[in-house]
Every structure is written in structure tokens, then in C-alpha cells.
């Protein structure tokens, strides 16, 4: 039985019976298994309304209650449709059960810390603004919890997992997901290059779906920085990463957004600022992961900007110049170039390059802006590739 509490009617709307104001004191009526309770206003004198009027009131309020019930059900259905992925994400208990069934446990040596706060997982998913034609690269897919949520909104998902046991679990969990490819391998072929199988899968998916390529992942500790550098600096060949939405260690996040002169300013900061815009979405405490890491983490967003990228003649050269100079960040620029090797060893007129780039050779590398590095790299490219 359901009980509906209905507020009292104003006195001026009650029927006048004889010379006395009528007030409905209390009526209980059984209708279709529900009980409607009407309470007398404290200022109205108790009298009985004619039966036909009481029955009419009960019918009206019964109809209203049915309408309200239908509206609530419709709203609930709409909310579930708007957030179809939240229910598919695994809780800590579900992840632990999957690992136990496979006879494994989280491997801290591999930087395995599962994000178990479902609200934060949803925040990361929502922040990425994934569309139906987009291709998503997820590195460190674990048991496939976040992967399944990604598959609901993306055109295609390439999920990479280094741990063979977790890769098997993810493949089983995602067996019915037609738009997910699980690759059990190291995402990095070498320090400066992504795994060929991963690059091939991304290239094919981008060609098939025609959308953007995004990195959206709770990145394992240790792989974040080199992966992001390679995605920006051509480590994925002709596959271009348009945006990144990831969780990383707090110290890595600080390097992503650091400005010139900051102690965290480095190669990653320069590449991010030179090609787009990076920002911290939210800082994360250890308690939102399982097992708990020893350091804080952060959720970071990066968007590639074509206007900035067009100013760079050779992104690989920019990375090489930044690596050379920031490798001796406390030395003056004119001293740093003495350590040039590889292609930069063929550049002989550094003084002229600094002059044309409007950079003081007595400055230190940590003082230069991303624009300064772009100017130097472009001039080095011209020196090594004369027309």
C-alpha cells in the first residue's frame, strides 16, 4: 500500500454549507490500493462535506498522483539514458573479484593503481567530450572498466595493457564490444616510438571513422611522460593526437603546465605550450586509487592547436633542441650547444641562430619561452636543410 500525503485546501476554496464554512477535517478513502490522507487546516472548523464532493476530490488527487508518478519514471529513464556509462564502471570490489578469479593482484612495479572513484571516472569521460566518430587510445586499460565506458561514446577504442593477465581479463570483459581492440603489449616500441601494432590500429581506426584521435586514460606511473612526448613529437608516425585527457602523478601534471623559470619547467612543458594548451582539471588524493599510491595525482587536459603547430617546421627538431638545451638547464645557452650531438652536431653557427631568434646566448634554457624554442628549432631546420 502506498500513502500519499496531500496538503490541505485553502479555506476559500471549500464549499460553503449553510451558514458555516466547510472544512475537510480528515478523509480516508481506499482507491485502487492507495490511501489518500487529507488534513484539516488548523483554522477551519470540522464539518462534513457532501459525499459527492469528497469523492470528486479523491478522484482529482488520485489522477494527479498518477501523473506525478509517470513524470518521475520518465525523468529517471531520461537520466539513465544521459549517463549510460556510469553503471558499467567497475567498483573496487568488482575489480578485486576479477583479479582474484585470475589469481593475480595489482603490480605496483608496473605502476598499477586502479581509479575506483566512479564520479572521477565519469568526470574524466565527460571532460574528453568524445564524439561518435572519435578514436580513443587508452593505455593501461586494466580490467576494462573504463574501456567499456569509452566504447559507449567513441567510434573505436584501442586499449593497450602491458600486463598479460590484465589484458586477458579486459578481453573477456569486452568480448561483446564490437568497437574495442585490446592489445596486450608495451605501448612504447622504444624511447622515441610507439608500438607498431598500436600505431597500425590507430591509423586504421582513424581512416575508418574519420574523427579525432584522443588519448583518454588513467595512465600507469612511469609511462605517462614518454608516451605524451612521443604522441606530440611524431612518435606515432603520421597519426596525430588531437587531445589528451589523463590522470598522471602530480609532479608530471606540474611539468605539463609549468611556465618558464619554474623548477618544473622542462621538455614536456615546452612541447605542450608549443603545440597547444594544457591545464589541470582536478588534483586527486591517493584514496581515490586502489591500491593507494604514495603520491598525489592529477587529472590533466591537453588540446592541440593547429595555429601553433603551423609555426613549427619540424616537430622532431623542436624536441631535439629542447632536449639539448634543457639537458643543461643551469648553464648558459652558449655553453649548452657545445654538447650538441646527432643532427644538431652539424649546426655550426649557433651565435647567428641565437641572434636571428632574438635570444640572448647568456640566458639559461629554463628562461626561454616555447616561442623562443620554436624560433631556434626552425632556424636549425633551415641550417640543416638549405634550399
The CATH number of whichever domain residue 108 belongs to comes to: 3.40.50.150
Co-location of 39 and 161 in the same domain: no
pLDDT (average), residues 77-90: 53
Q: Which residue has the higher pLDDT, 383 or 192?
A: 383
- The domain boundary residue, chosen from 252, 284, 309: 309
Co-location of 107 and 174 in the same domain: yes
Q: At what angle do helices 370-384 and 267-275 cross, to 10 degrees?
A: 90
Q: What is the pLDDT of residues 33-67, one digit of tens each?
A: 444 444 445 544 555 555 566 666 766 767 777 67
Which CATH number do you get for residue 339?
Answer: 1.10.8
pLDDT surpasses 70 at 20: no
SS (H, E, C) 298-350: EEEEEEECHHHHCCCCCHHHHHHHHHHHHCCCCCCHHHHHHHCCHHHHHCCCH
326 within 8 A of 365, measured Cβ to Cβ:
yes
Co-location of 289 and 325 in the same domain: no
- How distant, in Å, are the alpha carbons of 93, 281, 381, 382, 384 from that of 387? 63, 45, 11, 8, 10
Question: So what's the pLDDT on residue 58?
Answer: 67
Co-location of 187 and 323 in the same domain: no
Question: So what's the pLDDT on residue 236?
Answer: 86
Of 42-56, 149-163, 191-205, the range with the lowest mean pLDDT is 42-56
47 CB neighbour count, 10 Å cutoff: 16
- The domain boundary residue, chosen from 309, 334, 349: 309
Question: So what's the pLDDT on residue 54?
Answer: 63
For 279, the 3-state DSSP assignment is: strand
Question: So what's the pLDDT on residue 202?
Answer: 97
Question: So what's the pLDDT on residue 64?
Answer: 76
The listed range with the strongest mean pLDDT (21-30, 218-227, 263-272) is: 263-272
Q: What is the pLDDT of residues 124-148, one digit of tens each?
A: 999 999 999 999 999 999 999 999 9
pLDDT surpasses 70 at 5: no
Co-location of 210 and 301 in the same domain: yes
Q: What is the pLDDT of residues 295-346, one digit of tens each?
A: 999 999 999 999 999 999 999 999 999 999 999 988 999 999 999 998 899 9
pLDDT (average), residues 261-285: 96
- Band (120; pLDDT cuts 50, 70, 90): very high
Q: What is the pLDDT of residues 210-236, one digit of tens each?
A: 999 999 999 998 899 999 999 999 888
- Band (28; pLDDT cuts 50, 70, 90): very low
Total count of domains within the chain: 3
Co-location of 105 and 191 in the same domain: yes
Q: What is the largest CA-CA distance in the chain?
A: 112
Co-location of 103 and 200 in the same domain: yes
- Band (269; pLDDT cuts 50, 70, 90): very high
pLDDT (average), residues 233-254: 93
How confident is the prediction for the chain on average, in pLDDT?
Answer: 85
Co-location of 303 and 342 in the same domain: no
Q: How far apart are CA 29 and CA 152, in angstroms?
A: 49
β-pairing, 135-139 vs 213-218, is: parallel
pLDDT surpasses 70 at 8: no
Co-location of 329 and 249 in the same domain: no
Co-location of 286 and 344 in the same domain: no
- The domain boundary residue, chosen from 282, 309, 336: 309
Question: So what's the pLDDT on residue 48?
Answer: 53
Question: So what's the pLDDT on residue 75?
Answer: 59
β-pair partners for 303: 243, 277
Co-location of 246 and 211 in the same domain: yes
Co-location of 105 and 60 in the same domain: no
pLDDT (average), residues 9-29: 42
Residue range(s) defining the domain that contains residue 158: 89-309
Amino acid at each position: 500500500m502506498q500513502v500519499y500525503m496531500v496538503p490541505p485546501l485553502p479555506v476559500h476554496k471549500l464549499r460553503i454549507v449553510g451558514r458555516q464554512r466547510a472544512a475537510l477535517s480528515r478523509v480516508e478513502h481506499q482507491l485502487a490500493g492507495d490511501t489518500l490522507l487529507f488534513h484539516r487546516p488548523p483554522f477551519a472548523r470540522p464539518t462534513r462535506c457532501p459525499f459527492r464532493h469528497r469523492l470528486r476530490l479523491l478522484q482529482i488527487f488520485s489522477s494527479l498522483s498518477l501523473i506525478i508518478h509517470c513524470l518521475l519514471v520518465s525523468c529517471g529513464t531520461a537520466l539513465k539514458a544521459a549517463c549510460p556509462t556510469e553503471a558499467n564502471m567497475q567498483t573496487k570490489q568488482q575489480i578485486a573479484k576479477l583479479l582474484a578469479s585470475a589469481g593475480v593482484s595489482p603490480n605496483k612495479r608496473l605502476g598499477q593503481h586502479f581509479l575506483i572513484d566512479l564520479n572521477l571516472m565519469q568526470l574524466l569521460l565527460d571532460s574528453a567530450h568524445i564524439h561518435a566518430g572519435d578514436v580513443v587510445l587508452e593505455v593501461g586499460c586494466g580490467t576494462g572498466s573504463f574501456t567499456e565506458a569509452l566504447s559507449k561514446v567513441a567510434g573505436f577504442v584501442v586499449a593497450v595493457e602491458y600486463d598479460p593477465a590484465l589484458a586477458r581479463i579486459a578481453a573477456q570483459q569486452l568480448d561483446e564490444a564490437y568497437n574495442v581492440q585490446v592489445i596486450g603489449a608495451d605501448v612504447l616500441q622504444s624511447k622515441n616510438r610507439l608500438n607498431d601494432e598500436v600505431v597500425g590500429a590507430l591509423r586504421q581506426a582513424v581512416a575508418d571513422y574519420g574523427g579525432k584521435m584522443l588519448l583518454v586514460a588513467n595512465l600507469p606511473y612511469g609511462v605517462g611522460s614518454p608516451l605524451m612526448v612521443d604522441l606530440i613529437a611524431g612518435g606515432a608516425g603520421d597519426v596525430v593526437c588531437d587531445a589528451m585527457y589523463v590522470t598522471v602523478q602530480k609532479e608530471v601534471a606540474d611539468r605539463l603546465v609549468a611556465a618558464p623559470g619554474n623548477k618544473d619547467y622542462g621538455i614536456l612543458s615546452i612541447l605542450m605550450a608549443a603545440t597547444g594548451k594544457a591545464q589541470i582539471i582536478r588534483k586527486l588524493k591517493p584514496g581515490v586509487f586502489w591500491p593507494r599510491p604514495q603520491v598525489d595525482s592529477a587529472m590533466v587536459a591537453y588540446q592541440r592547436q593547429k595555429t601553433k603547430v603551423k609555426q613549427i617546421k619540424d616537430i622532431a627538431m623542436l624536441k631535439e633542441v629542447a632536449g639539448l638545451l634543457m639537458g643543461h638547464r643551469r648553464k648558459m645557452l652558449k655553453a649548452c650547444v657545445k654538447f650538441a650531438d646527432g643532427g644538431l652536431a652539424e649546426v655550426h653557427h649557433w651565435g647567428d641562430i641565437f641572434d636571428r631568434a632574438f635570444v640572448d646566448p647568456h640566458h639559461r634554457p629554463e628562461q626561454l619561452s616555447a616561442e623562443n624554442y620554436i624560433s631556434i628549432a626552425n632556424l636549425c631546420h633551415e641550417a640543416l636543410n638549405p634550399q
